[in-house]
Structure 1
């Protein structure tokens, strides 16, 4: 790395450390880019979490999606595919065959958010044939509205494989990762990597997360990478790469600019409403934070979260990767610190002094009730039932709120948020609700309650207090 003296390295490391402490992430790694180069990288970690370095890889979840989008746009640039093509023209067996390539890239195909069956991120994804047979729902007509869809990117990955005659990850290695010098990036780790954990929301306890094979779902979020490699990708996305000839050979800058055009509002605010700081382009998120517009993507799978932000005006880039399901927020504070602005305060520290009995307790609602606190993995949510019988599910961290109502004998998301249009099913044991299935996500009264059928299973160690050998 060069240019370290040109960036506030000490301030960036301080923001990273404070963010890690506030969110209790076992390992939090970050990098920054400016002037075509990675100019800073650092890792903050718990004392028990080994000795990770900036060269250790993390799972990056949905930051995989803009990489797959690049592979699709290369097909467009070469004339093999058009953005206006119905996907059924190339994949006759694809769900939503009338949806266009452009609509799949912008999450406006109408496809449901997750893959049918158990929570795929922990249980494992389907093969293509299994996906075709699974009955993926199309909740809206193509182009009607934004609705984030992981199956939509499985379809795009399949498109790349069929046209190229090679696996989607090999195409990315040959056509994107290799040319951009992203040597630590791959569908599986290609070097040192960290372990992913669930961190208990109320106690100093952790839980190992499984690393399932995603098969055809891989293009939705299976890649491993380092923040430095993600910064290289971000620099290229906004035309800030050092080797312009190599960058143009991957995808012309004009097409990269087309990726970053805001095409649809991301209306995930939920029933409470609120401002719309985020839109979606062709496979990328476009955020407007005050006067700063960034292009990139966030990502999460059990055990890991990640964020990539590239300033479209200055070319400054930050990437952050964490080893916790609960997450750390995003890269806004690091980008502000890189640019000499005041970094927002990190997430408030969790109440880790609660007793273990409360932390792994069964909740306080009575039999037959679904109101109160439920946990998606370690992430607490609140369920309220209104006088009209409608059910509201909302994260206690303020995101992913949806109202559900009876539709054709089922509870379906009818208002706002990530689960709009998705199904909520109550799982009973002896007449007592013990789990909720929300768009295939598994919610329990206690984090990863082993008394329920947690997709992907619960580690034999369960929740435990980490130490030097964890």
Structure 2
């Protein structure tokens, strides 16, 4: 695994970005792709502003609510340090906060019941609110009742960072998140060149410059500026994508342990929209999507011949966040299975853009294949792959591109396992019945004859006699059932 992309692939990404800018009528569009933990491509198309200067990958955009994920990381750092707990009521740390009876986990997952926006004029154009103004709001629903996206909730979390650390929330992010991750182009205000944000007239080729006010106490909900390259680095770190796989010890303790990052990316609540499929969820400051790779792409015609592994991989689970403030939109999407990441920023209030389409371009140019020994997967890990049987039911255990194991039944999404601290064992880290449970290979005479998965016994053939079956095998073995 490495971050290098061929010139042809880089050219395809550049062309796809330009096509999106023109079709979306976007004054400027910039994007970056990361693979194996490093930025593999960055490109930009359009103009910075009325001067006509060409936009480049070094230009910063306001990234809106992607700020929330960065703030959530800083809150999780407090959790890891023992300064706060996710189960703490907000009022324990901020007695004057709205929704004092909601937990920090409720606020991080938008289930505290707080309103989406503060009272008064459109704050994203007119300017933010003071903390005193934020405290005047009350809940719309009981905490934990349902998902309701709330900018006010992240104003509360920004205030929490300031009270605990004794410095502004953006200083906390600068010292604890941005600089350690090499995000030198990220800040509450631009740290280098930046672009102008516009509203584009829907019926004419005209633009209207949008104001860029300060957001005061609402800043933690969406005030950060960044570049796609910085965001792609952040996304790679968030899903722990590195040269040796998602659970490499190299960066386990960098800013936040991998286990805590996994916790952030675990869906907690569905985003339930009327007459829409459940394809999106929210974790702890992280949005999670489930979609189909390359919908409508030409490879779909070949799906009748695909293997079970390929069918399972056709679905794409991504983690990250979207962002939108007047004049700017941004998207950060990290494929949780492959570790590929895309970040895209545009200078338009409402123009259409699709960052995941760039991941589809990458997939089409360099199709996914299951890893082999050449990819650095240990031989003992590969020996675990294949078909296993829980009783008579077949399951497939495959080695993912990131080196993790995924156990599925009949091609459906199952549980993903990462190496455990227990030697030779694995622990469930994503979804499925065995989340948090342990997978242990059972050896006999130097070979693996069974898997103990949270006490469930899996064998290489249905009720294989060489395994120590709980309850024992049928002494007569498999035999025909008499008929009448």
TM-score, with structure 1 as normaliser: 0.69
Match of 1:260 among 265, 268, 283: 265
Following superposition, the deviation at residue 340 of structure 1 comes to 1.8
Query: What does residue 299 of structure 1 align with?
Result: 323
Report the Cα offset of residue 4 of structure 1: 3.3
| 1:79 alignment partner in structure 2 | 82
2:61 maps to which residue? 58
CA shift at 1:237, angstroms? 0.5
Per the TM alignment, residue 184 of structure 1 is displaced from its structure 2 partner at its CA by 0.1
Secondary structure at the counterpart of residue 321 of structure 2: strand
CA drift at 1:2 = 6.2
Instruction: Name the CA distance, whole Å, in 1 between partners of 2:125 and 2:99.
Output: 25
Question: Which deviations, in whole Å up to 9, do the C-alpha atoms of 1:304-345 show, x marking residues without a partner?
Answer: 0000000000000000000000133331201111222799xx
* 2:346 is the alignment partner of 1:322: yes
Sort the Cα spacing of 1:233 and 1:241 in 2 relative to 1 into closer, same or farther, 3 A: farther
User: For residues 277 and 342 of structure 1, what CA distance do their matches in structure 2 show?
Assistant: 26
Task: Give distance in 2, aligned partners of 1:279 and 1:102.
Answer: 15
- Aligned partner of 1:121 in structure 2 is 124
Alignment of 1:234 with 2:239, yes or no, is: no
Deviation at 1:248, TM superposition (A): 1.7
CA distance in 2, matches of 1:162, 1:296: 27
1:24 matched residue in structure 2? 25
Relative to 1, partners in 2 of residues 1:247 and 1:214: Cα closer, same or farther, differing over 3 Å? Answer: farther
Distance 1:108 1:126, change over 3 A: same
1:174-323 paired onto structure 2 within 5 Å: 174-241=175-242, 245-246=250-251, 248-267=253-272, 269-270=273-274, 273-290=275-292, 291-323=315-347
Give the number of equivalent residue pairs. Answer: 338
Question: 1:231, 1:318 within 8 Å by CA — same for their partners in 2?
Answer: yes
d(CA) in 2 for partners of 1:342 and 1:276?
A: 29
- Once the 2 structures are TM-superposed, how far is the Cα of residue 164 of structure 1 from its aligned partner? 1.0
The structural deviation recorded for 1:274 is: 1.5
Residue 303 (structure 1) shift = 0.3
Deviation for aligned residue 1:6? 7.7
Segments of 5+ residues of structure 1 without an aligned counterpart are 344-470
Say which SS state the counterpart of residue 217 (structure 2) adopts. Answer: helix
Q: Does 1:149 align with 2:154?
A: no
The corresponding residue for 1:434 is: none
Whole-Å separation in 2 of the counterparts to 1:222 and 1:280: 21
| Largest Rg, 1 or 2 | 2
Q: Check 1:2–1:20 CA distance in 2 against 1; reply closer, same or farther (3 A cut).
A: same
From the superposition, tell whether residues 215 and 247 of structure 1 become closer, same or farther in structure 2 (CA, over 3 Å): farther
- Output the aligned Cα RMSD: 1.9
Counterpart CA distance in 2 for 1:241 and 1:250 is: 15
- What SS does the corresponding residue of 1:340 show, helix, strand or coil? helix
Instruction: Give the 5 Å matches for 1:379-394.
Output: none
Over 3 Å counting, the alpha-carbon distance change for 1:277 and 1:165 in structure 2 is same
- Name the CA distance, whole Å, in 1 between partners of 2:208 and 2:152: 28
Deviates more, 1:216-225 or 1:322-331: 322-331
Which residue of 1 is the match for residue 403 of structure 2? none
| Divergent runs of 4+, >3 A | 46-49, 241-247
2:357 to 333, 336, 358: 333
Matched residue of 2:331: which SS? strand
Query: 243-252 or 313-322, which moves further after superposition?
Result: 243-252
SS of 1:4's equivalent in the other structure is: coil
- C-alpha offsets along residues 407-438 of structure 1, whole Å, 9 cap, x if unaligned? xxxxxxxxxxxxxxxxxxxxxxxxxxxxxxxx
**2:95 aligned to 92, 96, 115, which one?**
92
Residue 127 of structure 2 corresponds to residue 103 of structure 1:
no
| 1:172-202 CA-partner distances (Å, limit 9, x unpaired) | 0001000000000000000000000000111
The SS at the match of 1:15 is: helix
CA offsets 1:3-60 (integer angstroms, 9 cap, x no match): 1328711111111111100111000000000011100000111596421110000000
> What is the CA–CA distance in structure 1 between the aligned matches of 2:336 and 2:198, rounded to whole Å?
33
Instruction: Return closer, same or farther for 1:83/1:6 CA change in 2, 3 Å cut-off.
Output: farther
Q: 2:134 aligns with which of 113, 131, 142?
A: 131
Question: What's the TM-score, normalizing by structure 2?
Answer: 0.67
**Contact 2:45–2:54 (CA under 8 A) maintained in structure 1:** no
Kindly indicate whether structure 1 or structure 2 has the higher relative contact order, using CA contacts under 8 Å at least 6 residues apart: 1
